[in-house]
Amino acid sequence: MQTRNPILDDIAKVATGAASAFSGLRGEIEARVRDQMAKLLDGMHLPSREEFEVVKAMAAKAREENDELRARIAALEARLAQAGSDAEP
């Protein structure tokens, strides 16, 4: 025999209503947190990903040029040292 309990029905309705209300509230909270984070990050003047990649490439190129210049200086110093030792009797 199946009976219908109105108290359990009412509790189920309240739980269903609360779940949908919390779902909407969760979406609202996520949107507000996302907006606040965007405002915070905008205020920090952080570079975009593209700007970062450009500066990273510039730094790598400068590092390569620096290494090449070091090698050239070392070669010139070696030639100077050799020329100095050849000139001495």
How far apart are the C-alpha atoms of 89 and 78, rounded to whole Å?
Answer: 19
Structure tokens belonging to residue 77? 């110093």
Identify the CA nearest to 73 among candidates 65, 84, 62, 85.
Answer: 65
Q: What's the whole-number average pLDDT of the chain?
A: 87
Contact of 23 with 31, CB cutoff 8 Å: no
pLDDT above 90 covers a percentage of the chain that reads 47
H or E element that contains 63: helix 49-87
Summarised one tens digit per residue, pLDDT across range 54-83 is 999 999 999 999 999 999 999 999 999 998
Q: What is the average pLDDT across 22-46?
A: 87
Phi and psi dihedrals of 69, rounded to 5? -65, -40
